[in-house]
Amino acid sequence: MEMRVGEGGMAWVYRARDRESGRSVAVKVLMSRLTGDREAVARLRREAQVAMRLDHPNVCGILAWGDAGGMPYLVMPFLEGETLSRRETRHGPMPPDVAVPLLQQLCHGLQHAHDAGILHRDLKPENVMLVEEAGQGDRAVVMDFGLAKESVAGPELTRLTATGIVLGTPEFMSPEQIRGKPLDARSDIFALGVLGFELLTGRLPFEGSTAQETMLAHLTGQPIRLRQACQTLSESLEQVIARSIAHDAGERYQSMREFGEALDAVSGER
């Protein structure tokens, strides 16, 4: 291994070199304090099992996984870039001609996951990597399928979620996820809509000073309008984002493909 490049909440991420191919890879190693935590180990194993089934330029797959002396690990492609959250911190809100193409890419990657029967359930800027492509701008890559859920849950996932704890990040969780209801693709659409709102304005559509207040706002409050947060944005873009974060899942886009097509129509107006 060459160097530690980050922390993934439950794990350290190292940059390493594959001895056979010579290429750089990222190795995600569960923190030593969690190696005795069955739930943490099961979640890391689940991330590997899910991501190894995915193969798309806008999704970070898994090359291999295993256990070295009681330390579970994943091996992933090494992505040269920065997280979307870091980009937002450094540069603030993005103009539509930059933000909309990134959102479209995320729609493509998440549609691929949904087609495989996999929901992400924890989409947020920290879980999106921006990889610079020579002469083509940034490629958005969805990371961290640690909370991913298949359309038909197996007994392992039932054990992981049977504690009654709501899993996810409050600022990006759909109302049905907060309520612990059954989820489908429309929950990820809600999260991507919130992410898009923040990407375009630097603000969240539902605000609260605590996690509890934020979740309550998702359940009972009305979102801030996009152009209330940034007056220079178009009415058509406001309508697209508003539909993606509708309280009732039936009023949202019904697939990431449909969401992406709506973003494409807005992009074509400029």
| Active site residues per annotation | 122
Angle at 101 between CA 95 and CA 106, to 5 degrees: 120
Within 8 A by CB and 6+ apart from 90, the residues are: none
Q: Tell me the two tokens of residue 254.
A: 């019904």
Q: Say if residues 197 and 189 touch (Cβ distance below 8 Å).
A: no
From CA 92, how far away is CA 127, in angstroms rounded?
17
In whole angstroms, give the CA distance from residue 38 to residue 36: 6
First-to-final CA distance of the chain? 46
106 sits in which H/E element: helix 96-115
As to burial, measured by CB atoms within 10 angstroms (0-12 exposed, 13-18 middle, 19+ buried), residue 109 is buried
CA 70-75-77 angle, 5° bins = 165
Put residue 169 in one of left, alpha, beta given phi > 0 → left and psi -120 to 50 → alpha. beta
CA-closest candidate to residue 40, choices 68, 15, 73: 73
Rounded CA-CA distance 179/19 in Å is 47
Structure tokens at 173: 């969780």
